[in-house]
Amino acid sequence: MTIKRVGIIGSGIMGSGIAEVAAKAGHEVVLRSRQQASADAMVASLEKSLAKQVDRGKLEAADRDATLSRVTATHDLHALRDCDLIVESVVEDLSVKKELFKELDLLVNDGCILATNTSTLPVVEMAVVTERPERVCGVHFFNPAPMMSLVEIIRPLTASDETIASVTEFAEACGKKPVEVKDRAGFIVNALLFPYLNNAVRMLENQTASRDHIDEAMKGGCNFPMGPLALLDLVGLDTSVAILDALYDEFRDPNYATAPALRRMVAAGHLGRKSGKGFYDY
């Protein structure tokens, strides 16, 4: 099935980025947030992002207008009824995602594929609450979605080959490089990345080195574009704790046991860039 109309649910960091990618690639996009004001704010931030690209000569004004004309914003889940694909990108909480999948399953067309942008959670658990487990999978974009080329296509035991082929084609149409991976916590990237990020927090806790020296070391020594503490701020510390908890839950590997400092920062409301304060101030 060729995907034309895409629903995006969640107005956070990832929902906005995926919406931009899908609309620029020529898909009709329906953005849904629980509050109409947040859905409208997503469109406003998309307008801003596209305007910047026009100013920098990276996008034609006509393409900006065409992209915006393909996007609608709503608070009403029913507006997603005619979508070919829905990508949910709400909070990393399995019970919230399962409720959403149950609700979507009842209201969208039979052929619609339901996908999650989860970073670590078991996709099969979202699949089995629906009557269409063969049409449920993971489509994991990276942050910031407009810049990062990778999309992990997560295949739960229940997904059909047709579903995986359709979402792979969708990711390619969005200009991304899809890789297929089984439904296992953290998939490829986060399973390998998060022990590193978590151990950087432990190193800071132990006062082995300062924040700036830890980040500088990994940039200068490994040629990484940003250090681990700055990357945690970009991901969001609450999302990072949820990712580590899901990994620990599945593997019981001590490298995945969330560093206490990270949990305390989340409790204090220091969530990284999105709250204005994390390991750095924004």
Ligand X SMILES: NC(=O)c1ccc[n+]([C@@H]2O[C@H](COP(=O)([O-])OP(=O)(O)OC[C@H]3O[C@@H](n4cnc5c(N)ncnc54)[C@H](O)[C@@H]3O)[C@@H](O)[C@H]2O)c1
Among the options 152, 166, 240, 270, which is catalytic?
Answer: 152
CB of 206 to ligand X, least distance (A): 26
Contact (CB, 8 A) for 74 and 63 = no
Residue 50: exposed, middle, or buried by beta-carbon count in 10 A (0-12, 13-18, 19+)? buried
Q: Is the peptide bond before 225 cis (omega within 30 degrees of 0)?
A: no
Active site residue 119: yes
Q: What is the DSSP letter of 149?
A: -
CA distances for 262 relative to 114, 239, 269, 271, angstroms: 32, 11, 11, 9
Residue showing the smallest CB distance to ligand X in the complex: 12
Measured in degrees and rounded to the nearest 5, phi and psi for residue 5 equal -110, 125
Under the rule (CB under 6 A), what is the footprint of ligand X?
Answer: 10-15, 33-34, 89-92, 96, 117-119, 141-143, 235-236, 239, 274
Among the options 119, 166, 198, 240, which is catalytic?
Answer: 119
CB of 50 to ligand X, least distance (A): 19
Active site residue 152: yes
Among the options 117, 190, 198, 240, which is catalytic?
Answer: 190
**Within 10 Å of residue 230's Cβ, how many Cβ atoms?**
21
Nearer to ligand X, 8 or 64 (CB): 8
CB of 92 to ligand X, least distance (A): 4
Nearer to ligand X, 98 or 274 (CB): 274
Active site residues: 119, 140, 152, 190
